Structure 1
Amino acid sequence: MNKTSIAVAVLAAYSIAAQVAHADHDDNEIITVIGNPLQHISNARVSSSSNTEADFGDQLSNIAGISVSRNGPVTGLIQYRGLFGDRVGVSVDGVDIQGAGPNAMDSPLSHVLPELGMQATLYRGIAPVSAGIQSLGGQLVMQSDMTMLFSQPNGLQLSGNAALISPGEGAQYQVNAFYGFDDGFVTGAFTHQQRDEREAADGTLIPNTNYQRNGVKLGGGFTTGKHSVEVRYQQLDTNESGTAALAMDIKFIDAAWYRLGYRYQQSDNQYLTVNWFGNSNQHTMDNISQRMLMMASMARQNDTDSLMQGGDITYVTPLMDGELTAGLAHKHLGNNSIISNPNNAMFFVNNFMDVEQDTYSGFVEWQGTVGQAAVTMGSRLTQISSNADDVNSSMVMMSDAVSMLVNAFNSTDRNQSDTMVDIAITAQFELSERNSVFAGVSQKNRAPNYFERYTWLPLAISGGMADGFTYIGDVNLTHETAHQVELGFTYTTEHWTFSPRLFYQDVNDYIAGTPTTNAAAIMVAGMMGASTPFQWTNTDATLKGFDAQLSGVITENVNLNAVASYVHGTRNDIDDALFRITPFTLVSHINWRTRMGSIPLTLQATSELVASQDHVSALQNESKSAGYGLVHLSADWELGHQWTFTAQIRNLFDKNYVPHTAGINRVSGVSVPVGEKLPGTGTEWKLSASYQF
């Protein structure tokens, strides 16, 4: 780690803490506790007034174990304890988002549109089976609290937010409306975001960091007696946005989702919920709109679409000294992808054709007390079946190798099925009024996704891993099975809470890329100027590490929140590291609540320390990275009950750095050489004004 940068970051955070610790105080006490060790969840507020990233991924830094790997400004992939992509479950307002792009350009984070009371909630460590299907890498829920929405006062609430971000001439506008009445509410939100290219600390333009998006979210709820109904709809349209770490950029993404929910409250602790939901995406990407092209024959456009529909039913009832939860769910997913050359109408690749996946799942879970322990135990049975139609390409007539790949795929039995059993048991033992011990064990599973099974032509499709290699699939892949053990404790005093966790996870049949022996695929890759392609293969992997949360009060008006995370990931089939694993990270927030005259003022100083990473994947040519330290500042002024002004500065000391999880540049003719990691941003500022009607 760069000792100078870390020292500066630590000293800056310490000096600010020392100054605020000796400042005058008023009678208000603000205590912010990030994480709830007793319920094994961590929370972070999601707001349009405080974000600096277009997809709000920066607001997850308060949650231990989470990081965001970026391939573009609206293409952030959540990584939790070394697992990312489909291994981490993410739901937005109760909908499991399924993107259209096989490289996760439209990742779940890109579908977030904040509204009143929206929070990100992570089931820390071993997620209960009730939290979601295929939650091998945890479950993150981003939604507003419905109880809070139903309890809002009657009448109209309007709020607006406008923000300017520089450099890059960024702008963000959002309007929220809420109307409450005796038996329910209606709500709406509109957002617009845009920005040009961002800059590194040395003035280098970071290529293809532009974006432009517009979105609207509508919803409402109604309750009568023991019955309540809720409906949600969101449309989020992304226009030209860059993804320099991938082979193409976003031309557009038109994404919509909906959810209709019903709840029957039989008694205070007995209820039934039913949900019906769906998600539709139209997504076009290309390599000509936003980057230089060497030859017209190399132009490519990929038109993709996805459609997801599903429903679930859950029943909760008292049982013994706790409650029993049982549920059933079904989800149908369809994907298509056709690659063309805008300069050659004859060229085509039917990449994914009518790919379908059906998920059927049911679970039973009990949560209650056994002696002195709070216990959660449950089991989930899931069956996932998938299929795909025949493929084809205009290159068949010109290449025997492509013809062989097409014929081999079309003659293969593509109807596959995986049956998986998840088990999760966690217990918290109260040792004293202030101390407790946590322990958990689990078995979690994940079925191969459609591109891991059905990629038949060597293409740079890696689910967002973005390592620069081409991949082909394996129809006969089996599902991953992870066995995890977790241990931790929680120590509390009158003003402080400290909660560290150790974890060890062994993943059998871990799906990773291995150099293929398929002669036809090797020949096609050579024709395209690529190295030997990888093939998705069942291997084994181990992930181990720890994370910790610390929160408490320094003085009456000053509080500290800190999260630390470390993970070590290795492949067991070969002596190699897992790719793109976040190094040790310590993020500390110091908040000071004071007044400037009669005006309430909140100041925050953030220290972000990231260690070097030398445990890297040799197989995937991953480079080592240096550590760094950053300092960020923000201030909120509250003028009356209506106006709030926010000023933020990111990377206060204009540190030049490269995040280890940054993508590798694939855009030629720009200031960052092709094949080098994309640098982090230099000093950036954001000014935001919010008005509450």
Structure 2
Amino acid sequence: MSSILLHSASALALSCLTAMPALAQDASPLTDIITVSGQQLDAERLDRLDPATLPPSGPDAAALIARLPGATVVGNGVLSSQVQYRGLSGGRINLRIDGQNFASGGPNLMDPPLHYAPIALIERIEVDRSVSPVRSGPGLAGGVNAVFKQVGFGETDQWQTRYDLTLAGRTAGDSSSVGGVVGMANDQFRIQLLGSSESGDDINWPGGTIGGSAHERLVYGAGLGFRTGVHEFSLDLRRQETGATGNPPFAMDIRYFDTDFARVGYRGDWDGVSVTAHLAFADVAHAMNNYDLRPAPMMAAMYRESLATAQTVSGGGDAVFAALGGSLRLGFDGEQAEHDLAITNPNNANFVLNSLSDITMERTGAFAEWTGAVAGWESELGLRADRHRAEAGPASVGSAVPAMPGMLVMAFNATDRRLDDTTLDAVARLWRPVNDSTTLRLTFARKTRAPGYVERFAWLPTEASGGLADGNTYVGNADLAPETAWIAEAGLDWSSATAYARPTLFYRSVDDFIQGVPYDATPGVIDTPVEMVSAMNGDPTPLRFANTDARLYGLDLDFGVGLSAAWHLDGTASWVRGERRDIDDNLYRTAPPSLRLGLTREAAAWSATLETLAVARQDRVSAANSEAETPGYVLVNLYGSWTLREGVSLAAGVENLFDHSYRQHLAGYNRNAGSDVGLGERLPGTGRSLGLRLTLRG
């Protein structure tokens, strides 16, 4: 499928994108590509690539995606942010890192997939517009794939050395990073080493310092490839070591994530049939505690450290061949993830709660996808079916744990802990060039998501919620049904010699939408063991995950106009409404409307951009979840870049130029007492920050 690239001018409005939408008549305008490195990509996938400016920013790759129309960031910590796309986030977005799916190591999603994508290692981020195609797996929202830099094959049998390195610094938290890829290649072999190292102290905001917001991350790995004729084989190995990293909206901070990745791949041509296959493995070991990066509890009995592991084996393959006047792709994929979580007190070896023990989550799927012309429309039509199996082992507690959690253990162990579901997805993505300047887009889909292991098996009321970071305690529900979204979208891509616009209207009706609801019909009345345990932990009104019904609809677009040969104005606008259909209420945690505008001056060797981001007040909040409103705000940013010589570029930028104090609606609430942010207050945005980045390529 061909891809569409955004204008480099949106360095102001989308400062990470690299080209204006060039809508070729035979292109599929269904994928946005954020190019981080500015390297040339496969011309068959892109209509045009113009090297662009990436403003220097923090280590959070989610912040890049948040510049796209319809997207925003859920700020849970400098290395723990998630993406919300058209009102959906977390497991509802099909996120991959270098094409690999894997399970998070933490039950509170302290390591969402983009935690494993340092910006210095990313070549590009591919974002499926509207919905993810069936070949990419299930998921209610669009898909995201962060593709790492790679040393490609050469053109001759002569070995060549190649490198792509980035050095960056930022005054917010006095952070710094260095990373990239180096290697050698000829027309048959390629070999590479990659790595990055990042660190930063606590982040400043206009009111002081956000306590416990420091970070450490180290990544290193190697890759090789072999090509013979029309067959290509690859092997990639990578290890990530996240050190002491703060998570102020959570009850604990990261002590470590030690994660290993391995992936082998094949692609080739068999008499006109294109075949791909892959097998991958990920192993996450995680520890978090409540005393290293925040004031320790006053009593030794309140010290907590949670130890979690997750191992994922995934694989799949497909074959693409000509059929029915177009191209037919048939494939299969699957994954198995195993999880364990133990909550301990380092001061008491007998205090342990094996709260999520021997969890196994399996998915096996098959799909068919046809691309071709139907009644004058270019189309991508897909079907997939997935079989899901979830199973939990018996829970247990140590002898120092109070009696009431022991009662919950016995009740949980007496339940049927093996669950099975089947989901069916169907996607029709259509586009039709009307003339040389306009392409119409339509999408109709049925998309699904199976419940996660915390949503199903969390018997102990804790704040583990898949990253909501809202201070509530949650318990799971074994009777949850998979979510099913019915989707309709319409849009157009228009461009002329001096302007472009890409508006999209969308509507999603979600049956069995999973959300936290009051544990029983008498919230605040502590009359069940779950409520008693939750009250002991400071929350007398626990929530349970339940199937509800929801709808999400809205409009987003990006646009731009050339004012002269050297000046252009670009922007994005996003608006989404989330509503419950089963009761009269708003959907919990939906981003407010926003508008990003920027003015860019371009010259032969440099460019400068003045950017304004306006975010509206969010007063359409969930009463059922006691969600607080947030005021609107306006930020001003300034960026510039210079090409010093071929292969060497320098970028500089100032975020929040006027040091404005603001709160993002999707940010979590502070739980760190050693901070200039009050306990229970919504975390503030970063204050004025200067960033620099040097890029070396050859």
Residue 666 (1) aligns with residue 648 (2)? no
Pick one of 127, 134, 154 that aligns with 2:132.
127
Residue 402 (1) aligns with residue 405 (2)? yes
Alignment of 1:135-534 (within 5 A): 135-144=139-148, 149-150=152-153, 154-202=159-207, 204-266=208-270, 270-292=273-295, 293-394=297-398, 398-399=402-403, 401-517=404-520, 519-534=528-543
Pick one of 607, 631, 634 that aligns with 1:629.
634
CA distance in 2, matches of 1:251, 1:329: 34
Alignment of 1:547-566 (within 5 A): 547-551=556-560, 553-566=562-575
Residue 42 (1) aligns with residue 47 (2)? no
More off after superposition, 283-292 vs 611-620: 611-620
CA distance in 2, matches of 1:115, 1:321: 42
Give, in angstroms, the shift of residue 460 of structure 1: 0.5
Q: Give 3-state SS (helix, strand or coil) of 1:280's partner.
A: strand
More off after superposition, 148-157 vs 526-535: 148-157
CA distance in 2, matches of 1:215, 1:397: 38
CA distance in 2, matches of 1:92, 1:560: 32
| Structure-2 change in CA distance of 1:114 and 1:167 (3 Å) | closer
Contact map agreement 1:77 1:109 (CA 8 A) in 2: yes
CA distance in 2, matches of 1:253, 1:563: 35
Give, in angstroms, the shift of residue 407 of structure 1: 1.0
Contact map agreement 2:66 2:83 (CA 8 A) in 1: no
Contact map agreement 1:44 1:62 (CA 8 A) in 2: no
Give, in angstroms, the shift of residue 558 of structure 1: 3.8
Q: Give 3-state SS (helix, strand or coil) of 1:474's partner.
A: coil
Q: Give 3-state SS (helix, strand or coil) of 1:542's partner.
A: strand
2:48 is matched with which residue? none
Q: What whole-Å deviation, never above 9, does each CA across 1:247-281 have from its counterpart, x for those lacking one?
A: 100001111212111011235x6300010011111
CA distance in 2, matches of 1:117, 1:283: 24
Contact map agreement 2:65 2:83 (CA 8 A) in 1: no
| Structure-2 change in CA distance of 1:34 and 1:535 (3 Å) | farther
Give, in angstroms, the shift of residue 417 of structure 1: 0.6
Partner AA of 1:333 in structure 2: A
Contact map agreement 1:221 1:231 (CA 8 A) in 2: yes
CA distance in 2, matches of 1:538, 1:526: 24
Alignment of 1:46-65 (within 5 A): 46-47=36-37, 50-65=55-70
CA distance in 2, matches of 1:688, 1:619: 45
Give, in angstroms, the shift of residue 551 of structure 1: 4.0
Q: How many residues align?
A: 659
Partner AA of 2:429 in structure 1: T
Q: Give 3-state SS (helix, strand or coil) of 2:152's partner.
A: helix
Contact map agreement 2:212 2:293 (CA 8 A) in 1: yes
Give, in angstroms, the shift of residue 125 of structure 1: 0.4
CA distance in 1, matches of 2:32, 2:91: 21
Q: Give 3-state SS (helix, strand or coil) of 1:96's partner.
A: coil
Contact map agreement 1:33 1:551 (CA 8 A) in 2: no
Q: What whole-Å deviation, never above 9, does each CA across 1:554-583 have from its counterpart, x for those lacking one?
A: 333444442211111112222222222111
1:577 is matched with which residue? 586
Contact map agreement 2:154 2:160 (CA 8 A) in 1: no
Residue 683 (1) aligns with residue 688 (2)? yes
Give, in angstroms, the shift of residue 690 of structure 1: 2.9
CA distance in 2, matches of 1:440, 1:651: 37
Partner AA of 2:285 in structure 1: Q
Q: Give 3-state SS (helix, strand or coil) of 1:624's partner.
A: coil
Q: What whole-Å deviation, never above 9, does each CA across 1:366-397 have from its counterpart, x for those lacking one?
A: 11112321111111000110101100113687
Partner AA of 1:195 in structure 2: G
Q: Give 3-state SS (helix, strand or coil) of 2:563's partner.
A: strand
Pick one of 634, 640, 658 that aligns with 1:653.
658
Contact map agreement 1:315 1:327 (CA 8 A) in 2: yes
CA distance in 2, matches of 1:674, 1:160: 40
CA distance in 1, matches of 2:301, 2:120: 45
Partner AA of 1:677 in structure 2: R
Pick one of 603, 606, 611 that aligns with 2:611.
606
Contact map agreement 1:35 1:41 (CA 8 A) in 2: no
CA distance in 2, matches of 1:283, 1:383: 29
Structure 2, gaps ≥5 residues long: 1-8, 39-53, 521-526
Q: What whole-Å deviation, never above 9, does each CA across 1:337-384 have from its counterpart, x for those lacking one?
A: 001001222101001111001110000011111232111111100011
Contact map agreement 1:395 1:402 (CA 8 A) in 2: no
Give, in angstroms, the shift of residue 523 of structure 1: 1.1
| Structure-2 change in CA distance of 1:357 and 1:326 (3 Å) | same
Contact map agreement 1:104 1:463 (CA 8 A) in 2: yes
2:44 is matched with which residue? none
Contact map agreement 1:372 1:430 (CA 8 A) in 2: no
More off after superposition, 37-46 vs 230-239: 37-46
Give, in angstroms, the shift of residue 604 of structure 1: 2.5
CA distance in 2, matches of 1:253, 1:119: 24
| Structure-2 change in CA distance of 1:429 and 1:652 (3 Å) | same
CA distance in 1, matches of 2:674, 2:99: 43
Contact map agreement 2:639 2:654 (CA 8 A) in 1: yes
Structure 1, gaps ≥5 residues long: 1-12, 18-29
Partner AA of 2:630 in structure 1: S
Give, in angstroms, the shift of residue 630 of structure 1: 1.2
Contact map agreement 2:350 2:399 (CA 8 A) in 1: no
| Structure-2 change in CA distance of 1:561 and 1:183 (3 Å) | farther
2:47 is matched with which residue? none
| Structure-2 change in CA distance of 1:258 and 1:594 (3 Å) | same
1:20 is matched with which residue? none
Instruction: Give the TM-score, by structure 1 length.
Output: 0.91
| Structure-2 change in CA distance of 1:279 and 1:181 (3 Å) | same
Q: What whole-Å deviation, never above 9, does each CA across 1:127-170 have from its counterpart, x for those lacking one?
A: 2211x222211211111587x93367851023433222114221
Give, in angstroms, the shift of residue 629 of structure 1: 1.4
Contact map agreement 2:101 2:314 (CA 8 A) in 1: no
Contact map agreement 2:120 2:179 (CA 8 A) in 1: no
Q: What whole-Å deviation, never above 9, does each CA across 1:258-313 have from its counterpart, x for those lacking one?
A: 2111011235x630001001111111000011111232211110000100001101
Contact map agreement 2:254 2:287 (CA 8 A) in 1: yes
CA distance in 1, matches of 2:513, 2:21: 36
Partner AA of 2:36 in structure 1: V
Give, in angstroms, the shift of residue 539 of structure 1: 0.9
CA distance in 1, matches of 2:172, 2:433: 51
1:24 is matched with which residue? none
Partner AA of 2:486 in structure 1: H
Partner AA of 1:430 in structure 2: P
Q: Give 3-state SS (helix, strand or coil) of 1:168's partner.
A: helix
Pick one of 560, 576, 580 that aligns with 1:567.
576
| Structure-2 change in CA distance of 1:185 and 1:114 (3 Å) | farther
CA distance in 1, matches of 2:319, 2:145: 20
Give, in angstroms, the shift of residue 78 of structure 1: 1.1
Give, in angstroms, the shift of residue 55 of structure 1: 2.8
CA distance in 1, matches of 2:196, 2:382: 40
Contact map agreement 1:490 1:500 (CA 8 A) in 2: yes
